[in-house]
Amino acid sequence: MAIRRPETLTTAVASHIKEAVVSGLYAPGARLPEVALAAELNTSRGTVREALRTVADGGLIEIIPRRGVFVSQLSVRATWEISSLRALLEPYAARLAVEARGSDPTMLAQVSAAFEGLREAVKTADPTIVADADMAFHRSVFEHCGHEMLLSRLDSLQVLSRRIVLTNQLSSADAPTLVAQHEPIQHAVELRDPELVEAAVRAHVIEAGELLMTRMAPLEANRRHSDPHSFGLGRWPTGTTPHPRKSQASSRPRLEHER
């Protein structure tokens, strides 16, 4: 399959590889030979090599010296690392956005439209459509933060999060409650309250991360023939708080010192 030329051929090839990994076309642990990719995409090995480096920077694939290029494995630890970093960065970005643009009708309209888009997506029960709408809503809030380096990192984390969500069918399974999970964020934006937005985003990211890890833990434990409580995970970022709706203890596998 040939790739059309947008900005650069390398960008197009990198985008194709990213989408193939996120969608599951290239399975976790699969080897990605340069020669085969170059033939598949009707381009040179040099272009493929450059594109693979770009994708590797985002964490979707691993380049292992003298072994080759492999699709990154999905794991409880990787999910915790991605979710905990989002729990640290995204609430701050959301707060900056509301502080800077909270009174701007354009931002309010974009967030409202993205929230309605999430409502409509949930009705389709299509995991990809729901996941994309979920990510679009989050970005409609934090994209106004005015911090380019922070935006770049959050965009990379969203790509990784989307892959894990789709692989574990989180959006499909939780579609009925997904809108309600995002309502506190929408409400806080409408109130133009930076602290409330920050807390709502943090709580939601943690709750979603906990749910993903809880679902992944038994499967990973079976693969490893190990105790599901032995993943060696750390704590959530300092200052994070549980979701206000959650009164029960977290179901994430815990370390000995956390019990």
Q: How confident is the model at residue 173 (pLDDT cuts 50, 70, 90)?
A: low
Residue 9 and residue 48 in contact, taking contact as beta carbons nearer than 8 Å? no
Measured between alpha carbons, how far is 187 from 204 in angstroms, rounded to an integer? 13
The stretch 168-188 carries a mean pLDDT of 81
Measured between alpha carbons, how far is 220 from 70 in angstroms, rounded to an integer? 19
Give me the domain span that covers residue 17: 9-71
Q: How confident is the model at residue 24 (pLDDT cuts 50, 70, 90)?
A: confident
**Are 178 and 58 members of one domain?**
no
Q: Which pLDDT score, from 0 to 100, does residue 231 have?
A: 56
Kindly state whether residue 206 falls inside one of the protein's structural domains: yes
Kindly state whether residue 104 falls inside one of the protein's structural domains: yes
Q: Which of 243, 186, 205, 213 is nearest to 89 (CA)?
A: 205
**Are 229 and 118 members of one domain?**
yes
**Are 100 and 158 members of one domain?**
yes
- Of 71, 91, 109, the domain-final residue: 71
Q: Which of 181, 252, 162 is nearest to 211 (CA)?
A: 252
- Of 71, 99, 124, the domain-final residue: 71
Question: Whole-model pTM?
Answer: 0.76
**Are 36 and 67 members of one domain?**
yes
Q: How confident is the model at residue 191 (pLDDT cuts 50, 70, 90)?
A: very high
Amino acid at site 252: R
Percent of the chain whose predicted confidence (pLDDT) is above 70: 80
**Are 57 and 87 members of one domain?**
no
Kindly state whether residue 259 falls inside one of the protein's structural domains: no
Kindly state whether residue 127 falls inside one of the protein's structural domains: yes
**Are 147 and 67 members of one domain?**
no
Q: Which pLDDT score, from 0 to 100, does residue 257 have?
A: 40
Q: Which pLDDT score, from 0 to 100, does residue 239 have?
A: 58
- Phi/psi-derived region of residue 28, left when phi > 0, alpha when psi is between -120 and 50, beta in every other case: beta
**Are 126 and 202 members of one domain?**
yes
**Are 55 and 169 members of one domain?**
no
Provide the domain count of the chain: 2
**Are 81 and 62 members of one domain?**
no
Phi first, then psi, for residue 104 (nearest 5°) are -80, 120
**Are 103 and 213 members of one domain?**
yes
User: 70 - beta bridge partners?
Assistant: 31, 62
Kindly state whether residue 252 falls inside one of the protein's structural domains: no
Q: Which of 201, 228, 235 is nearest to 214 (CA)?
A: 228
**Are 164 and 151 members of one domain?**
yes
Kindly state whether residue 4 falls inside one of the protein's structural domains: no
Which two structure tokens, joined as six digits, stand for 184?
């506190």
Amino acid at site 146: G
- Of 48, 71, 94, the domain-final residue: 71
Kindly state whether residue 1 falls inside one of the protein's structural domains: no
Measured between alpha carbons, how far is 24 from 167 in angstroms, rounded to an integer? 7
- Residue 135: half-sphere exposure toward Cβ, Cα within 13 Å: 19
Q: What is the CATH number of the domain that holds 59?
A: 1.10.10.10
Amino acid at site 244: P
Question: Does 145 or 171 have the greater pLDDT score?
Answer: 145
**Are 14 and 61 members of one domain?**
yes
Lowest mean pLDDT among 21-25, 67-71, 185-189: 21-25
Alpha-carbon dihedral sign for residues 40, 30, 20, 13: negative
